[in-house]
A and B are shown apart, each in its own frame.
Chain A
Amino acid sequence: MSAASSRPARWWASWVRLLDTREPGTALALFRIVTGLSLTYALGSMLAADLVEVLWVDLAYGGYRSLEGRWLVRALGGATGAVVHTLVAITLLAGVLLTVGIVARGAALVAGQGWLALTTLNPDAMCAYDPLLTNSLWLLVLADSTATLSARCRLREGRWTSDRLVTAWPRYLVIAQLTVLYFGTGLSKISVHWTPGGGFSALYYILQQPSWQRADMTWLASVYPLTQIATAVTWLWEVTWPVVVLALWLRRHPDRGGRLRRRFVRLPIRTVYVAIGLTMHVSAGALMVLGPFSAITLAYYPCLFRAPELERGLSRVARRRPAPAR
């Protein structure tokens, strides 16, 4: 076999080996729990505000406009009150099952299709977190997310936590999805206000928009330079997020050498990006009404860490003795 033809074969073999990696399922379990809670909250808040009928039911049955819906809604007979409320109930139940960790893959599939059917009923009332949540639920169909921190674990092993190993590739897909989200939203920021030419004034003016603000935000004028710094940091952080994936990849084999790898192993790139992300999402949640967007996005963050790192962090938070490193 020639060198040229063996190189793709070697790449493929490395790819297969990478996907064979197994690890404790803590990160995926946390992703499942926060995603399930976010879905439950998203639907629960719709019910609490009595908005299901208004936004998702057709004009002929009590809504305010004509709605068509996707194949599932059409197959069930259209956006009538009964169909929509049944879909809400089933999706909500699936969200609860997903959170507690019973039949999680099936629950994620049902929840994903239910959520997709409901949120695409009225395109005018769609939020940015709707497709993100649908993506999360599909990733949970692919992942074994109940190995630990789940009712299934409790039933199988008599305790809530377990070191049982799961395949790591769904966690890699979660990281890929987060990267596409941040990088994509960074690339789409085309306004002059996001650039030095516009004085990095985007966040100041976005926070003046009545649509998302929690309260009057004119006070931000007194700290305008801070909003300029925040704008620059947010935009740079988003468009350079792929560097986190590169850092994670290079840190996977610190022993292999190379100047770039040595530099990336030394620099706390992931820590810096996660800290900025947490600050950004918490600030956005405090200043703006964005629904469960921050929670749905932050559900992805545990997957940036390997299980031993997460367990050490959780132990520290719980003020317990740190778990031994694997």
Chain B
Amino acid sequence: MRAGLVLVHLLAVGLLALPDARGIEESRASWANPTVQAELRAWSSRLSAVGWQTDPTTLRNDVLAVATSWNATVTTLRTPVQPYEDLLGVRQRWRMFVVPHRYPAKLHVDILEDGRWRTVYAARSPDHRWRGAQLDDVRVRAMLFRYGWERYRREYRAFARWLARRAGEDFPSAERVRIRWWGYRTPSPREVADGDAVPGEFRQTADVALARFR
């Protein structure tokens, strides 16, 4: 009996661990992200170099078709053991640091006081640390990593509203709060060595009057 149950557990873990491509299939909006576009360009160029002629668009379509078909197979295989995962939470999808995000974004929060904007929080800045204990926590970092992507714009807006409410409480004399992302491309080792400036721009700006929160 025990030997059978242990075998069932191992079988279940094995099936649940089958790599799926759910992320590829479900987040089609993310294909437009520059990091994903750069990966497609890099892979299509390397595959073409070894004789498999392709381009980023063809490769994207091929990957999507394979991912859709593979996901259907994996879902079928997992069906008998899915209740085991659902009940006990023994999830086995370990997608960690799959792709370096070459076009990340840093959260910035500014407040308008006496007609002048002042930065109160900037991600990873030692000088602007308003609510740093919360915003720099690992769980919030994971959340903000996701919210920098366009597909999470609704959730980002919800979090921006929460931040605006907190800013209204913490800065009683502030008139407005501005929450936005500084999007940029991470520098290559050569660019760092040459001292090249990293190009970037602010985007997804939420500019909120604070009077409504008082």
Which residues of A come within 8 Å of B, CB atoms?
Answer: 12, 15-16, 19, 45-46, 48-51, 54-55, 59, 63-65, 112-113, 115-116, 120, 122, 124-128, 131, 134-135, 138, 142, 169, 173, 176-177, 180-181, 183-185, 187-193, 197-198, 201-202, 204-206, 208-213, 215-216, 218, 220-222, 224, 289-291
Contact = CB atoms under 8 A, between A and B. Distances in A.
Contacts of B134: 49-51, 54
Sorting the interface of chain B by its residue count into under 10, 10 to 19, 20 to 34 or 35 or more gives 35 or more
A31 to B, nearest CB: 16
Contacts of A209: 100-101, 104, 145, 186
Nearest 7 A/B pairs, CB to CB: A64-B162, A205-B100, A221-B192, A291-B138, A116-B89, A191-B99, A184-B94
Interface in B90-113: 90-102, 104-106
Interface in B3-40: 3, 6-7, 9-10, 13-14, 17, 19, 39
Interface in B167-210: 186-187, 189-190, 192-193
B146 interface: yes
A288 B89 CA distance: 26
A120 B89 contact: yes
Contacts of A59: 158
Contacts, number: 173
Interface centre among A46, A55, A180, A211 (most CB of B within 10 A): A211
B197 to A, nearest CB: 12
A55 B140 contact: yes
B189 to A, nearest CB: 4
Contact of B42 (A173, A192, A220): A192
A193 B88 contact: no
B171 to A, nearest CB: 18
Interface centre among A48, A116, A124, A212 (most CB of B within 10 A): A124
A49 B137 contact: yes
B74 interface: no
B150 interface: no
B89 A125 contact: no
A195 B46 CA distance: 11
B98 A188 contact: yes
Contact of B192 (A50, A128, A218): A218
Given A54-B162, A135-B90, A192-B39, 6 more contacts: A122-B143, A125-B142, A131-B93, A180-B94, A191-B98, A210-B124
Contacts of B144: 211
B203 to A, nearest CB: 15
Given A188-B96, A210-B104, A215-B124, A51 B159 contact: no
A128 B140 CA distance: 13
B23 to A, nearest CB: 9
Given A124-B146, A138-B88, A181-B94, A55 B139 contact: yes
B10 to A, nearest CB: 6
Interface in B118-134: 123-124, 133-134
B138 A191 contact: no
A191 B39 contact: yes
A51 B133 CA distance: 9
A48 B190 CA distance: 41
A210 B141 CA distance: 9
A216 B136 CA distance: 14
A125 B6 contact: no
Contact of B141 (A45, A65, A189, A211): A211
Contacts of B147: 124
Contacts of B192: 218, 221
Contact of B94 (A19, A54, A138, A188): A188
A128 B139 CA distance: 10
B124 A65 contact: no
Nearest to B191: A221
Contacts of B161: 64
Contact of A19 (B6, B39, B186): B6
Contact of A176 (B13, B101, B141, B142): B13
Contacts of A193: 99-100
A125 B106 contact: no
